[in-house]
Structure 1
Amino acid sequence: MAESLLSIGLEVATLHVLGIIAACHAIMNTRTSQGAVAWAVALVSVPYLTLIPYLFLGRSRFAGYVDEHRFNSARARARTEADVNQSQLTVAARRDAATEPALRRFLALDRLMGRRFLAGNQVGLLENGRETFDAIFEAIDQARRYVLVQFFIVRDDSLGRELHRRLLARAAAGVKVHFLYDGIGSHALARRYVESLRAGGVQIHAFSVRRVSNRFQLNFRNHRKIVVVDGQVAFVGGHNVGEDYLGGNPRLSPWRDTHIRLAGPIVAQIQRTFSEDWYWVTQTLPELAMPEEAPGDMTCLAIASGPADHQETGSLFMTQAIQAARRRIWLTSPYFVPDSAVQSALRLAVLRGVDVRVLLPCRPDHFTVYQASLFHTYEAVRAGVRIYRYQPGFLHQKVMLIDDDTVAVGSANLDNRSFRLNFELSVLTVSPEFAAQAQAMLLADFALAKEVGPGEWETVPLLPRVVMHVARLFAPVL
């Protein structure tokens, strides 16, 4: 009996020692003070509950880009190619008088990204999964030189197999096909799917933050969704590859999501983002073509963010976008777990008299994230933010409308994971005509939503309130 108690005591003591060591690691490596405090307290007090989650979720500093010299050389080469393209397309570098006032509001983004706003683009809205993948498949079928494909989730279902078939057909026709998928997001992807593509001439790789795969590392995922064909047309947005995104999951159907189709000089910035990810995985660069013409009159900037950035690009982008709003800022996201900077920006916008609206889903796909989102929803409503819950099905789109001239569409959610832990890509467009299209789309979405009332929090029972408060403690890793 005494030996048994001694053994249990030693095990508990060992766990607490490991918890203290992990807490020190969290203090030294967690990017935000809130996250460091949360992990440190939990690891010291209840290590038997938090040590294993910390292995999966704890690291919030990205140490993957260890070969900085080679990576920066690749980035410099990609940037040079984009700059050559800009000099060839003089219309792309010209700032139109009609959009100049809007561009001045976003000057900080120009500098933050180290990229110029480019004019001469054409952008089209794709408002559902079928419309999105019909457009993507049509573009792939017309590819003559190369196809770049990158998704967070790829499933071996009917949609995934349709993409598989079309990529093999292009590879067989001599088109170079480069395919990146996230190793964790697509963890269920069958090996036969990957190997059959590789055998058919498709260059396909899983994105991982380390050269050697680490199954314990769930942070730093590549959440970008990119398709580029021949350097002339690109697709960016919220859809992944799976029947879920066509409404195939009865629990979440109908699925509401948005993608955009782009042509013009902005394609160079998008494929440059892909080339940096490709270089990290393969140590090679794809041979890229530059856009040959400026087919439209829209001004755009690609916002590529990730944990390797010198600054917290995702959070700074969102904060600046909200601060730039003078009349309205409408946001849609499946998750609403904003950091303190974004929370403050939203509240200040309300105080400036800006029409601040956020559209969220009414159905959860991840319990903890949904409960944390509910907590922040009620907090925001009390501050004057108007929040709506989309009723028909699950809302997954990531769209932002600023005033009457600016729209952003991409992969980034309103949470710390997208702000700091994931690689994301959004495209900011400055065009009153495109903003009017986005406004019409969002008004239709708001018409199918129910607004959260200011007194709703008072009707929530005690136990659900406790659950929400506990869930929001995990905000640094949600």
Structure 2
Amino acid sequence: MASWLLGTSIMLIHVLGMVSAVMALMSSRTSQGAVAWIISLLTFPYIALPAYWFFGRPRFYGYVMARGARDNVLRRVLARYYESSLPFHVTPASSDIQAVEQLAMMPLTRGNNASLLIDGDATFASLFEGIDRAEHYLLLQFFIVRDDALGRRLQAHLLKAARRGVRVYFLYDEIGSRKLGEGYLKELIAEDIEVSPFRSSRGFKHRFQLNFRNHRKIAVIDGRQGWLGGFNVGIEYLGQSRKHGPWRDTHLMLEGPSVLGLQEAFWEDWHWATGEVASLNWQAERHADTDHHVVIVPSGPADRQDTASLLVQQLIHSATHRLWVTSPYFVPDQGVQDALRLAAMRGIDVRVMIPERPDHLLVFLSAFSFLPDMLKAGVKIYRYLPGFLHQKIMLIDNEAATVGTVNLDNRSFRLNFEITAFIPSTTFAEEVHQMLENDFAQCRRVTVDEIQRRPLWKKVVSRAAYLMSPIQ
């Protein structure tokens, strides 16, 4: 009897593995991901089967359905927001900008001010000053929040705001902030601050959606000022971690109609997390002194298209003489790799800045498998030396730049909710150019020889890590 049960169980596991392999074939969003899952499910179903059901979902279906329900109920609110921003809409000056606007499903607006915030001290000084100026409400969203010295400073500013009557909405990713203690949250809740985790696995029906993350970092004050970029909340982001050392990152402060785009992204996430509709200011206001054009580009696994990957590819194709990119995690999909190589072959100055020190070992190892082909095509790869590089920046010619949360890897392209500001402004692009010039001066350039001289076992490990990158 026992042997019959064992044999039946083994057969059932293999049958389920084959069924799941067919599902992966039909639904995976990349051929590399499909191959990785199919091989694993057919060869090692005992391990791969539960992994696939927990981590292999190609789209965040619950969020898709919630978005539809929200649109049915709240379409009139968004219509008012759209109407209020109409005077600030700009007809795209080129088809390249039009493509970004179509991907974003948000308008290009004028009358904005975009201020670069370089490194942690400047970023958190700006954010905390903004929180202290809030009159009506604060929207705060981070992937990682730690209960350390910086986390306590943030908490103190939020508590102070709440005590003077400001409505505070605090959203954090349940996986990224898994170490955030209940005590920290209870202190916020005790002052009537609205607190919620972002759970991708909300409810029984969506219990297997554990591989999605909300990687956005958004702050909005009264619908008039907004922040986004690479910074989470923890002392390592101030360069106070022994493991990482100095921390190089960039954030962005926005004022003007584009802030409502940030607000809408938060609003959607808050609705998914809580089922509640936050009452917010949707009246667009232009900045008095500056006229940056801005498109806010939300992206994530609920999108019909691979918005983040397509955005990066579009920006690469639009470059005519310069394309500089920084990313802490650099394992781009085949489309982005091909676009980078082709840009270099066209004579574009293509530079990619990545960390010298690894943060995630598998991602770090994966890059070695495809870097030789990129280097041979003329793509220049630089490693940042002083500390850990975490900024996510793109500079396109001297015409436009992006600041946001998107890394050039499969997780950001297809598994994470992300947010990017695209700014087609020559003055802003020049600021980014000067910032990156300083960063490249602190880098070393990677050569083909140093990668090819690596021992065989390291090459094998790197290739295996690359093949697993779609499901990391």
TM-score by length of 1: 0.93
1:34 aligns with 2:32: yes
**Which range is displaced more, 437-446 or 245-254?**
245-254
Indicate if the aligned counterparts of 1:78 and 1:272 stay in contact, CA closer than 8 A: no
1:229 aligns with 2:218: no
Q: Supply the distance in 2 between the matched residues of 1:337 and 1:216 (Cα, whole angstroms).
A: 25
> Where does 1:144-183 land on structure 2 (aligned, <5 Å)?
144-183=135-174
Indicate if the aligned counterparts of 2:201 and 2:210 stay in contact, CA closer than 8 A: no
Q: Which amino acid aligns with 1:303?
A: V
418, 421, 428: which is aligned to 2:415? 421
> Where does 1:436-475 land on structure 2 (aligned, <5 Å)?
436-475=430-469
Go from structure 1 to structure 2 and tell me whether the alpha carbon gap of 1:360 and 1:69 turns closer, same or farther (over 3 Å shift).
closer
1:71 aligns with 2:70: yes
Go from structure 1 to structure 2 and tell me whether the alpha carbon gap of 1:363 and 1:7 turns closer, same or farther (over 3 Å shift).
farther
For residue 154 of structure 1, report the CA deviation from its aligned partner. Answer: 0.9
1:185 aligns with 2:185: no
The SS at the match of 1:364 is coil
Q: Supply the distance in 2 between the matched residues of 1:333 and 1:372 (Cα, whole angstroms).
A: 14
The SS at the match of 2:389 is coil
For residue 73 of structure 1, report the CA deviation from its aligned partner. Answer: 3.0
> Where does 1:159-308 land on structure 2 (aligned, <5 Å)?
159-212=150-203, 217-289=209-281, 290-295=283-288, 296-308=290-302
Go from structure 1 to structure 2 and tell me whether the alpha carbon gap of 1:81 and 1:223 turns closer, same or farther (over 3 Å shift).
farther
**Which range is displaced more, 42-51 or 157-166?**
42-51
The SS at the match of 1:326 is coil
Indicate if the aligned counterparts of 1:304 and 1:426 stay in contact, CA closer than 8 A: yes
Q: Which residue of 1 aligns with 2:21?
A: 23
Q: Supply the distance in 1 between the matched residues of 2:9 and 2:174 (Cα, whole angstroms).
A: 34
Q: Which amino acid aligns with 1:397?
A: Q
Give per-residue Cα distances to partners, 1:105-144, cap 9 Å, x unaligned: 3211122222221111111111101211111011001111
Indicate if the aligned counterparts of 1:30 and 1:61 stay in contact, CA closer than 8 A: no
Indicate if the aligned counterparts of 2:228 and 2:251 stay in contact, CA closer than 8 A: yes
Indicate if the aligned counterparts of 2:406 and 2:413 stay in contact, CA closer than 8 A: yes
Q: Which amino acid aligns with 1:63?
A: Y
Give per-residue Cα distances to partners, 1:386-418, cap 9 Å, x unaligned: 000101111110000000020100000001111
For residue 51 of structure 1, report the CA deviation from its aligned partner. Answer: 3.2
Indicate if the aligned counterparts of 1:71 and 1:280 stay in contact, CA closer than 8 A: no
For residue 77 of structure 1, report the CA deviation from its aligned partner. Answer: 4.0
Q: Supply the distance in 1 between the matched residues of 2:80 and 2:227 (Cα, whole angstroms).
A: 20
Q: Supply the distance in 1 between the matched residues of 2:436 and 2:101 (Cα, whole angstroms).
A: 27
Indicate if the aligned counterparts of 2:85 and 2:284 stay in contact, CA closer than 8 A: no
Q: Which residue of 2 aligns with 1:385?
A: 379
Q: Which amino acid aligns with 1:171?
A: A
Tell me the C-alpha RMSD between the 2 structures: 2.1
The SS at the match of 1:106 is helix
Q: Which amino acid aligns with 2:83?
A: V
Q: Supply the distance in 2 between the matched residues of 1:76 and 1:314 (Cα, whole angstroms).
A: 25
Give per-residue Cα distances to partners, 1:163-203, cap 9 Å, x unaligned: 11111111111100011111111111111212221121110
Q: Supply the distance in 2 between the matched residues of 1:22 and 1:37 (Cα, whole angstroms).
A: 12
Q: Which residue of 1 aligns with 2:119?
A: 128
**Which range is displaced more, 3-12 or 395-404?**
3-12
Q: Supply the distance in 2 between the matched residues of 1:72 and 1:361 (Cα, whole angstroms).
A: 41
Indicate if the aligned counterparts of 1:334 and 1:397 stay in contact, CA closer than 8 A: yes
Q: Which amino acid aligns with 2:401?
A: V
Q: Supply the distance in 1 between the matched residues of 2:119 and 2:68 (Cα, whole angstroms).
A: 41
Q: Which residue of 2 aligns with 1:50?
A: 48
The SS at the match of 2:61 is coil
For residue 9 of structure 1, report the CA deviation from its aligned partner. Answer: 6.0
The SS at the match of 1:423 is strand
For residue 270 of structure 1, report the CA deviation from its aligned partner. Answer: 1.0
Go from structure 1 to structure 2 and tell me whether the alpha carbon gap of 1:4 and 1:248 turns closer, same or farther (over 3 Å shift).
farther
Go from structure 1 to structure 2 and tell me whether the alpha carbon gap of 1:104 and 1:27 turns closer, same or farther (over 3 Å shift).
closer
Structure 1 unaligned blocks of 5 or more: none
For residue 340 of structure 1, report the CA deviation from its aligned partner. Answer: 1.3
Indicate if the aligned counterparts of 1:302 and 1:427 stay in contact, CA closer than 8 A: yes
The SS at the match of 1:231 is coil
Q: Supply the distance in 2 between the matched residues of 1:15 and 1:379 (Cα, whole angstroms).
A: 40
The SS at the match of 1:64 is helix
For residue 318 of structure 1, report the CA deviation from its aligned partner. Answer: 0.7
Structure 2 unaligned blocks of 5 or more: none
For residue 15 of structure 1, report the CA deviation from its aligned partner. Answer: 4.1
Indicate if the aligned counterparts of 1:347 and 1:384 stay in contact, CA closer than 8 A: yes
For residue 475 of structure 1, report the CA deviation from its aligned partner. Answer: 2.0
Q: Which amino acid aligns with 1:204?
A: V
Go from structure 1 to structure 2 and tell me whether the alpha carbon gap of 1:80 and 1:255 turns closer, same or farther (over 3 Å shift).
same
The SS at the match of 1:153 is coil
Q: Which amino acid aligns with 2:141?
A: Q
Indicate if the aligned counterparts of 1:182 and 1:208 stay in contact, CA closer than 8 A: yes
> Where does 1:74-93 land on structure 2 (aligned, <5 Å)?
76-87=75-86, 90=87, 92-93=88-89
The SS at the match of 1:281 is helix
**Which range is displaced more, 38-47 or 376-385?**
376-385
Q: Which amino acid aligns with 2:286?
A: E
Of all paired residues, the percent bearing the same amino acid is 45
Q: Which amino acid aligns with 1:276?
A: E
Q: Supply the distance in 2 between the matched residues of 1:297 and 1:259 (Cα, whole angstroms).
A: 19
